[in-house]
Structure 1
Amino acid sequence: MPDELDELCARVLAEHGCASVSVAVAEGDEVVLARAYGFADVASRRPATPGTVYGLASVTKAFTATAVCLAADEGLLDLDAPASGAYGPTGPTPRQLLLHRGGFPAFYTFHYGAGPLPIEIERYRAPLREPGTEFEYSNTGYQELGRLLESATGRPLGDHLRERVAAPLGLSDFAFGAAYTGPAPVATRYSAGGRAYPTCRTGHPAATAGWATAADVALFARTASRLLKPSTLAAMNEAPAINEHTGYGYGRLVSHGPGPVVHSHGGGMGGIAAMMIDVPERELSLAVLTNSTDKAARDAVVRHLAGALLPGFRPTQLDTAAETPRTVTLPQGTWSGEITTPEGGLPLRLRLLSPTRLEVQLADAPPVTTAAAASDRWDLRATAALQLPTRDARLNSPHLGLELRLREDTLTGRAIAYKPGDQEGFLGSYLPHPCTLR
């Protein structure tokens, strides 16, 4: 398998324009394979090695979830106590936040300059639905978990993760923050077009700000359960279903259906594509880390490794898509209302031209025509190259997305300012706003 891996990784990096990939496999307490390919830094021709550290993006959520569960086991935090804050009469509980069922919408924000973060997470943390109801993958919820953990322990989150999770498991190169501050060499992050990313800060570090080698990620995946009480571990792995293939537990996806039960978490943001997989019944885990926004190289290596090591493995066991496409069934006609932004309401008019075409007019801008779609969660979905004219959206989120549900004679949901990828410039923020149309 190592010779096949060498050939595959060389080919995959070339095919997808990915700078480097680092791979590790752990069995029991031991890392049995650790290899790296390509360049950790292209400009200096510095090669990637098994000791190179990569950004983890959302794989960080698994570390944060483990720390939260450990604090609960130690009596420092109650998983079922509603969080305090501006959430209305009933705040989400840590357990609901761990499961991405705290009611918060999807959200991410990236800042590449100095000074205070220009986009405040508080402006986008209004709950989309009641806590404990539907699954909604949310960085906001995991940032709230980080806040709760810091309050419960009296320690900065990064210090707590290093001291209570990384150190007991022997993860010597793990670090937490906007930039890597540990002793190991670090992989430069690259856009899908090959531009080097500067330091990136987010409003949700508890969800995205981890750094580690592939070996440390594989070892964490295999051994983190040993930090927790059996009852907590069992609850972590219950994983209510989010689709027919997978459920989401506490910081990990858990596969459903035939084949080995696979625990996993992926990560992706500007210059990062990461994957962590653990198969408890086999006492085997693997990690694949790349320094490119494009996930194609990561996914090809994951498929090869998992296919070779896990008989019966199915790529759908890593599936996070919680929606099934369907045909738009709304009556043709015009819907009018507004998008609620931190700067006030913005008029929005939609005219459904057919089950597949939609005309969108934002404020006084000329109308544009775009594709209309729907899913099992949304009665109308659409995207358009329309700039939301707010200060936050103008920073680096030039497109508009719509996700709306029909309730009687009203469409409600959200309008999202975002940027589709980073082929031009760096990845932008994803900013959800409440939207109501009649």
Structure 2
Amino acid sequence: MLDKLDGLDGLDEFCAEVLAEHGCASVSLAVAERDELVLTRAYGLADVAEQRPATPQTVYGLASITKAFTAVAVCLASDEGLLDLDAPIPGSYRWTAPTPRQLLQHRGGFPAFYNFHYGAGPVPIDIGRYRTLLREPGTAFEYSNIGYQELGNLLEAATGQGLGEYLRERVAEPLGLTSFGYGSTYPGTAPVARRYSTGGRAYDVCHSSHPAPGAGWATAGDIALFARAAVRLLKPGTAAAAYDAVPFDERLGYGFGRIVSRGAGPLLRSHGGGMGGVSAMMIEIPERELSVAVLANSTDKATRDAVVGRLMGTLAPGFHTHQVYPAPEQPHPLELAPGAWAGEVSTAEGDIPLWIEILTDGQVTIRLGGGPAVTVPATASPRCDLRAGAALQLPTADARVNSPDFALELRAEQGQLVGRAIAFKNGDREGLLGAYLVHACALRPR
């Protein structure tokens, strides 16, 4: 049994210490070897107010691990001739419409996006307002919930079933994943881990306009089994395509709902998940016929990452975090010449005036709409000639819901500064997560 291997001694003490150190309510973990669960553990409280302990039977939210389920479902429908992975999806776009294959690999041209709504009532932000291509499909990687929601919509149209029903009947039941559920709330009868913010505040029910990429639920044990077994549902050619990951940095590529490691260390296929009150990780180690799942009920990913590191350090010698976590872009000094620029942020409510002045000391002054001007530090990156963030409110109804911060990512192109303006909320320690809303932006010299 793996729980008796050298290196996993003291795991119970380690997990208890990590929970206390990071203020995380609970964590559940599982390891599968071939088709058998060989290690399951849970620590802490699934519900703090009720003092209900977490157990291996406790169900957790999966957040973006759901993308792996949705990807398998799309591949199944393709194998059955219900949809074509290389046929343009319906709709009118600035460029050629993206294909399901491009959407599966986050190369469909849609921007990053999320919106979460807590409690009763409809989701106040319509994803359709952001269903706009910001780059030509197939040209670059951009992780997009919009793309995976499009896949969910396409799958429902092709199969005539709701996505949750199709996932249960065609993925979960054939694999024996008895805990799997899909929806804003868990539809089963198993105990569920309540979700908590970084500061320990309990979340209410969370709704979004993009369930297909993030509304799954399961135990850690079922996720560990899914990680190894899901590909067996597919035809060999489709299974191979699912793992044919297009590189998005020097260490990682993205296949169909899986990140695939490249270069040094053991080959790993993985997917993480994070949203309000959820931090999750699923990893397959093919050469050892092992898979690992770690699920926690906190927005803060520190506990998840520490437990993943402890398990993988034993199970996959040579493991490094860069094999499952995309490396953050390293900032570079701002090199744009000083000067003033004026233009607009394009929104569904119309264009909003934007004015910036690049200063001489790595600073930029930003004025948005009729609001005050603020001066903040600015940097560059491999993708952008200017990156800056400020506590400025984009004056749209969507951004006013719960996105009080503002960021710019601009590049110099044909005498303009073009790119994106983003309304978002920086973390959840002071409350619950907001939306992440990306808008096209263009500025010209003044």
TM-score category, normalised to shorter length? over 0.9
RMSD: 1.1
Matched, 1:307 2:307: no
Distance 1:163 1:365, change over 3 A: same
In structure 2, the residue matched to 1:64 is: 70
Matched, 1:429 2:435: yes
Query: Which of these residues, 375, 390, 393, is aligned with residue 387 of structure 1?
Result: 393
Instruction: Say which SS state the counterpart of residue 365 (structure 2) adopts.
Output: strand
Give the AA of the match of 2:179.
D
Q: How many residues align?
A: 438
Give the AA of the match of 1:171.
L
Shift of 1:234: 1.1
In structure 2, the residue matched to 1:207 is: 213
Give the AA of the match of 2:400.
R
Partners in 1 of 2:123 and 2:38 — Cα distance? 42
Query: Which of these residues, 272, 291, 300, is aligned with residue 278 of structure 2?
Result: 272
Q: What does 1:324-403 correspond to in 2, within 5 Å? A: 324-354=330-360, 356-403=362-409
Partners in 2 of 1:351 and 1:305 — Cα distance? 49
Shift of 1:326: 2.3
The superposition leaves residues 329-349 of structure 1 with CA deviations (integer Å, 9 ceiling, x where unpaired) of 211111110111111111111
Instruction: Say which SS state the counterpart of residue 359 (structure 2) adopts.
Output: strand
Contact persistence 2:369–2:395 (CA under 8 A) = no
In structure 1, the residue matched to 2:42 is: 36
Partners in 2 of 1:343 and 1:148 — Cα distance? 27
User: Quick check: 347-356 or 395-404, which moved more?
Assistant: 347-356
Shift of 1:89: 5.4
Instruction: Say which SS state the counterpart of residue 326 (structure 1) adopts.
Output: coil
Shift of 1:3: 3.8
Shift of 1:116: 2.2
In structure 2, the residue matched to 1:132 is: 138
Partners in 2 of 1:330 and 1:179 — Cα distance? 48
Q: What does 1:138-157 correspond to in 2, within 5 Å? A: 138-157=144-163
Unaligned runs of 5+ in 2: 1-6
**Normalising by structure 2, what TM-score?**
0.97
Partners in 2 of 1:354 and 1:296 — Cα distance? 37
Contact persistence 2:8–2:314 (CA under 8 A) = no
Matched, 1:25 2:31: yes
**Normalising by structure 1, what TM-score?**
0.98
Matched, 1:86 2:97: no
Shift of 1:86: 3.1
In structure 2, the residue matched to 1:7 is: 13
The superposition leaves residues 221-279 of structure 1 with CA deviations (integer Å, 9 ceiling, x where unpaired) of 01001111111111111111111110011000000001111000000000000000001
Shift of 1:324: 4.1
Unaligned runs of 5+ in 1: none
Partners in 1 of 2:367 and 2:335 — Cα distance? 21
Partners in 1 of 2:312 and 2:93 — Cα distance? 41
Partners in 1 of 2:102 and 2:86 — Cα distance? 8
In structure 2, the residue matched to 1:224 is: 230
Shift of 1:183: 1.6
Partners in 2 of 1:436 and 1:102 — Cα distance? 22
Partners in 2 of 1:182 and 1:107 — Cα distance? 28
Shift of 1:351: 0.7
Give the AA of the match of 1:396.
N
Partners in 2 of 1:267 and 1:226 — Cα distance? 23
